[in-house]
Chain A
Amino acid sequence: MGYQLDFGKVLQGEYLELILQGVQTTMVLFVLSWIFGLVLAIVLTVVRAIEFRPTQLLVAAFVEYHRNVPVLIQLFVWYFGLAVVLPDVVNDYLNDIGAEIGYAIVALALNKAAYMSEDFRSGMRSIHPAQMEAARSIGLTYLGAMRWVILPQAWRLALPALLGQTLILFKGTSLAAGIGVAELSYQARYIEEQSFRIFEAYGIATAIYMLISFAIMWLSSALSKRFRLRVK
C-alpha cells in the first residue's frame, strides 16, 4: 500500500485551524443544547405532572415525536421547513449570521428535552408513594413535599439516565453536519476532501471525539457514584 501516514500534514496551518474551529462549534452545540434541553425538560416534567389532560397529551405528543423520528430528520424539519415559514428578509439575515447552528441547537435541545423529561418522569415514578405520604404526614404541603422530599430523590434517581443522555447528545452534535454546520465531523470530511488525507483527518476527529466522550463517561460514573440514592 503506497499510503504513508503523516499527521503533520493535517495538524498544521489552515487544517489545524479548521479542526480547532470544528471542536469549538461542536462544544458550543453540545453545551447550549444541553442547557436549553435540561431547562425545557424540567418545564415539560412539571407540566406533565399537573393533572390537566390537554397539556399532558400535548407533552406526551411532543415526547413521542422526538423519540420516534430520527434526529437527522428533526434537523431537516427545522432547517428546510422553517425557511419557508419565515419571511425572506429574516431568512437572508439568518443565513448571513450562519443560522444552521441556531437550527441545530434548537433541534438538538428539543430532542434532548423530550428524552430527559422521560428520565425525570421515570425517576419520579420509582419513588415509593409512601414517601409522599410520610412527607405529608409531617405537615408539609404538597409543594413542600415535592420540594424537600420528592424532587431531591427524583433527580438522584434520574441522574444516571441523564448522564447517559449527555453522552448521546455530545455524539449527536455530529448530525448537525447533515445541515451544514461546520462542527468537528464536517471539518474532518472537508479536510479529507481537500487534502486526500483520509486516515489523518478521520483519525484526529475520532480521537478528539473519544477523548471528550471518555471525559464525559468518567465524570458520569463519578457523579453517579457520588449521588447514588441508596434505598433499603
Chain B
Amino acid sequence: MIEFDGVSKWYGAVRVLRNISAKVEKGETIVLCGPSGSGKSTLARTVNRLEPIQEGTIKIDGTDIHAKSMNVNALRTGIGFVFQQFNLFPHLSVVDNVMLPLQRIRQQSRKEALPTALLMLERVGLADKANALPADISGGQSQRVAIARSLILKPQVLILDEPTSALDPEMVGEVLKLLRELSSEGITMMCVTHEMGFAREVSDRIWFLRNGELTFEAKPDLFFSSNTHPDVRGFLSSIH
C-alpha cells in the first residue's frame, strides 16, 4: 500500500536518505529503527510530505504522493502523524484539540463534532480530561491526546515519530499499550522507536536504517535472532 522506490534526499550536500526501496502492506505495523542520524525520522516524515524528496517516488495505493499535482492537504487528512513532542495546541482544551480537524477540515459544527471527539477520547482512555488544557495533563496523556487527534479523521495510515522518546519512563507503557491495541485493529502503521520490546511483540516487520540506507529488513523473529545483520547486532547491544 505504501511503496518507496529509489527514494533519496539531500540537505544541501549531505545525503540523508540513500536510494530506499521498500513496501508496507495494508494493515502492517512497521517499526523503523537505527542509530541517531540514520534517517529513520526523515523517512517517516516523507510519507506525509513534511519532508520533500529529491529522487525516487513514494506511492500510496498507487498514487505518487510527491507529484506536483497531489493535493498535500488532502493527502495529510488520510495520514495520521504523531510527533515526539506531542505538539498539542496549547490554546485549545484537550477535546478542542481532538475536534479541530473535524471542525476546520470536515467543516462540522461543534455540536456535530463533539460526540465523535468524546468517543475518540474514550478510546484513548481520557474522556475525563476532555476539558483540561494541554499544560495541565501529563506527558503520557498528552501523547494519547495527540494520537486521538491524529486518528479523528479515520486515516488509513498512522505514522509515529519516536512517540515515547519525550516521555518519563513510567509513562511509556500507557502509550505503547494504546499503540498495541491500534495495531491489532488493522490500521497501517509506521513507527520510529527505540522500544525494542514493542518492536518484537507488535511489529510485523522491522526496518533497520544506517547512514540513510535501509540496510536490513526482517520479521521480528529473525531481526532479534543470532542470524541477524551484524550492524543490527551492534545496534541492539549498544542500546541495551
Q: Is chain B in direct contact with chain A in the complex (CB below 8 A)?
A: yes
Q: Give the interface centre of A128, A134, A229 by most chain B CB atoms within 10 Å.
A: A134
* Contact, CB under 8 Å: A153 / B77: no
- Known contacts A133-B50, A230-B133: does B90 contact A138 (CB below 8 Å)? no
A-side binding surface: helix, strand, loop or mixed? helix
* Contact, CB under 8 Å: A148 / B104: yes
* Contact, CB under 8 Å: B87 / A130: yes
- Known contacts A133-B50, A144-B104, A232-B135: does B149 contact A138 (CB below 8 Å)? yes
Within 8 A of A (CB), among B152-176: 153
Interface assignment of B101: CB less than 8 Å from any CB of chain A: yes
Q: In the complex, what residues of B have CB within 8 A of residue A24's CB?
A: none
Q: Give the interface centre of B50, B87, B100 by most chain A CB atoms within 10 Å.
A: B87
| Contacting residue for B101 out of A131, A138, A141, CB 8 A | A138
Interface assignment of B8: CB less than 8 Å from any CB of chain A: no
| Contacting residue for B76 out of A137, A153, A229, CB 8 A | A137
| Contacting residue for A130 out of B75, B85, B105, B135, CB 8 A | B85
| Contacting residue for A141 out of B48, B73, B153, CB 8 A | B73
Interface assignment of A112: CB less than 8 Å from any CB of chain B: no
Interface assignment of B208: CB less than 8 Å from any CB of chain A: no
CA distance A94 to B106 in the complex (A): 54
* Contact, CB under 8 Å: B48 / A140: no
CA distance A139 to B100 in the complex (A): 11
* Contact, CB under 8 Å: A138 / B135: no
- Known contacts A137-B76, A139-B74, A139-B153: does B90 contact A153 (CB below 8 Å)? yes
| Contacting residue for A138 out of B77, B91, B92, B136, CB 8 A | B77
Q: In the complex, what residues of A have CB within 8 A of residue B134's CB?
A: 232
- What is the 8 Å Cβ interface bit string for chain B, positions 112-148, against chain A (1 contact, 0 not)? 0000000000000000000001111000001000000
* Contact, CB under 8 Å: A231 / B135: yes
Within 8 A of B (CB), among A126-166: 128, 130-131, 133-141, 144, 148-149, 152-153, 156
CA distance A232 to B48 in the complex (A): 27
* Contact, CB under 8 Å: A134 / B135: no
- What is the 8 Å Cβ interface bit string for chain B, positions 68-84, against chain A (1 contact, 0 not)? 00000111110001010
Q: In the complex, what residues of B have CB within 8 A of residue A231's CB?
A: 90, 135
- Least CB separation from A149: chain B residue: B89
CA distance A144 to B76 in the complex (A): 14
* Contact, CB under 8 Å: A140 / B91: no
Instruction: Give the A-binding residues of B (Cβ under 8 A).
Output: 48, 50, 73-77, 81, 83, 85, 87-92, 100-101, 104-105, 133-136, 142, 149-150, 153
A-B contact pairs, 30 of them (CB 8 A): A128-B87, A130-B85, A133-B50, A133-B83, A133-B87, A134-B83, A134-B88, A137-B76, A137-B81, A138-B81, A138-B150, A138-B153, A139-B73, A139-B76, A139-B105, A140-B101, A141-B73, A144-B104, A144-B105, A148-B100, A149-B89, A152-B91, A152-B92, A153-B90, A153-B91, A229-B91, A230-B133, A230-B136, A231-B90, A231-B135
A138-B76, A232-B135 known, 11 other contacts, Cβ within 8 Å: A130-B83, A137-B48, A137-B81, A138-B81, A138-B101, A138-B105, A139-B76, A139-B101, A144-B105, A148-B100, A149-B100
